[in-house]
Chains A and B, each alone.
Chain A
Amino acid sequence: MISRANLLKVLSAFLLCGAWEIAGRIPVSYAFPTFLDSMRAFFEMIGNGVMLAAYKETLRPLVIGIVISAVLGIGLGLWVGLNNFFDWLFSPIFIVMQAAPLAALIPLLVLAYGIGLTSKVLVVCIMAMPVIVLNTSGAVRNTPESFKEMGKSFLASRTSVLLRIVIPAASPVIFAGLRLGVSAGFIGAILAELKITPTGVGDIITYSRSIADYPSMYAAIFSIILLAVLFLNLLEKIETILFKGNQRGYVSD
């Protein structure tokens, strides 16, 4: 049985692809291929192993960067959220990071860390981490006072209050931050490959554009979007499994 929500998701994907096909046929621009052409290129690249080889390259900085951002970001966010002094010390840094024009910072990163993996991981982190930290710290700071009071009155230790009350209460906003952070991390990974050295998926994009093979270029872009969507859905699944009752939001009356 397909649930209503899933049906709607499929429907909206279908509409989007349809619109793409129509826009490609008009065409909006000679550099804009139709959906079907792009799909043909997409499956071709999967078939001849180009896509797999590209993702081996791209996924490394992406996965490393996202794992670092998630672990460090949530940790820092908890710390900043629970402590006013660290909030005062660190929050401005992340706010600036979030607002910084990354493209302008990339040359500086390359200067400092070269064109290898480190720079690319850093780009992913700079994109992904601020929103994770800011969401986590904000959520932690807004834990309903009545939950904490309840915990204290039933003799919960400080650790128990944190693990059993503060973190679960903050989890919807933390997960929202993770979702935004992961999407930003995907953008960061591609940006790094376009701006630092063309490797992986970024290489497919750069190369196919240079030889005017637009279906391949859009197939590469499509693949990264597809991967991001799949990953975000996975994240959502994890969230519902971990914190089941949170789905319906909070009850308070």
Chain B
Amino acid sequence: MAMSQIKEDSNQTEVVKSESAVSVKNITKNYGDIEALRDMSLEFPRGQLTSLLGPSGCGKTTLLKIIAGLLEPSSGYVEVNGKSVTGPGPDRAFVFQDFALLPWATVLNNVAFGLEMRGVAKSERESIAEKYIGDVGLAGFENSYPHELSGGMRQRVGLARALSVDSDVLLMDEPFSAVDEQTRRKFQEDLLSLVQNENKTFLFVTHSIEEAVYVSDQIAILLPRPSRVSEIIRPSSFRGKGVDNIRRDPEYLDIVDDIWSSLRTYVE
């Protein structure tokens, strides 16, 4: 039943062949009796954005944490840039679903945390942190505490913290779930330009089909627990048409419909 099918355009094969930044090989993860992931294999091409789309509780966070080196898989392994993952590393940064901000630290110190742990000097890390705080639209809130921010603002602090350490691979667990629709659309556009301008690899978890199709070079559809990859979709033709036209593009609309029809079987 786990049918694997790869949709791609012929003119995109060149990109597809580019080596993977992250390879997930036959990962199984059990929590006691609960089998979260079963024999999952997935490639994340370098410099591209891959979305993980699947029903709640299917193991997306679990997979991201295994890639981050925060969880041990029960079997299988993960390679990042050809090296097997044994723990967290400077090549990966995590945006947490629950933000994980330190309540006793200011926005500035929260964003600078990763740099501080990497031994960056105070003045330097603060100027880097300030830049990214501005980038996510929180300029002026440097000295606020997390409890003084709205949910969406907290989420952006987590985003700035992950961006500031400048890792190759960004693991983003529903990074836009708590921002309003307008901000979300702006972030999606920013994300697209980030993917284009920086040679980073993005792993992006989302519940929104539209969002996944809009921002992704590759979409992995996951099955409910025990989770495997059911389908990989590579939207291709509308990427070059400019951000404003994507949502009207027939391929965009077709893919959204396709994904919905394959996911709705699990909802019903």
Q: Given the known inter-chain contacts A168-B102, A246-B103, A250-B103, please indicate yes or no for A149 contacting B70, CB distance below 8 A.
A: yes
Kindly provide the distance from the CB of A111 to the nearest chain B CB, expressed in whole angstroms: 47
- Asked if A246 and B65 sit within 8 Å, CB to CB, the answer is no
Kindly provide the distance from the CB of A15 to the nearest chain B CB, expressed in whole angstroms: 32
Interface string of A126-155 (1 = CB under 8 A from B): 000000000000000000001101111111
Interface stretch of the complex, out of B146-154, B220-228, B232-240, B244-252: B146-154
Residue of A nearest to B144 (CB): A245
Query: Secondary structure at chain B's binding surface: helix, strand, loop or mixed?
Result: loop
- Asked if A155 and B90 sit within 8 Å, CB to CB, the answer is yes
| Count of chain A to chain B residue pairs whose CB atoms are closer than 8 Å in the complex | 77
- Asked if A155 and B104 sit within 8 Å, CB to CB, the answer is no
Hey, which chain B residues are within 8 Å of A160, CB to CB?
Answer: 117
Distance, CA A244 to CA B146, complexed state (A):
11
- Asked if B100 and A146 sit within 8 Å, CB to CB, the answer is yes
Whether a CB of chain B sits under 8 angstroms from the CB of A252 is: yes
Selected from A150, A155, A164, A251, the residue in CB contact (under 8 A) with B146 is: A251
- Asked if B98 and A246 sit within 8 Å, CB to CB, the answer is no
Q: Given the known inter-chain contacts A153-B70, A154-B117, A155-B117, please indicate yes or no for A252 contacting B90, CB distance below 8 A.
A: no
Hey, which chain A residues are within 8 Å of B90, CB to CB?
Answer: 155
- Asked if B105 and A155 sit within 8 Å, CB to CB, the answer is no
Q: Given the known inter-chain contacts A154-B93, A245-B145, A245-B146, please indicate yes or no for A149 contacting B65, CB distance below 8 A.
A: yes
Whether a CB of chain A sits under 8 angstroms from the CB of B202 is: no
Interface string of B160-198 (1 = CB under 8 A from A): 010001000000000000000000000000000000000
Hey, which chain A residues are within 8 Å of B104, CB to CB?
Answer: 168-169, 171, 243-246
Interface string of B61-99 (1 = CB under 8 A from A): 000010011100000000000000001111011101010
- Asked if B102 and A152 sit within 8 Å, CB to CB, the answer is no
Distance, CA A203 to CA B101, complexed state (A):
53
23 CB-based A-B contacts, threshold 8 Å: A146-B100, A150-B96, A152-B70, A153-B69, A153-B92, A153-B93, A153-B94, A154-B88, A154-B113, A155-B89, A155-B117, A155-B118, A169-B102, A171-B104, A245-B102, A245-B106, A246-B104, A248-B103, A251-B103, A251-B146, A252-B98, A253-B98, A253-B151
Given contacts A149-B100, A245-B147, 16 further A-B contacts (CB under 8 A): A146-B96, A149-B70, A150-B96, A153-B70, A153-B88, A155-B88, A155-B117, A157-B117, A164-B102, A171-B104, A244-B104, A245-B146, A246-B104, A250-B103, A252-B98, A253-B151
B→A interface (CB under 8 Å): 65, 68-70, 87-90, 92-94, 96, 98, 100-106, 113-114, 117-118, 145-147, 151, 154, 161, 165
A→B interface (CB under 8 Å): 146-147, 149-157, 160, 164-165, 168-169, 171, 243-246, 248-253
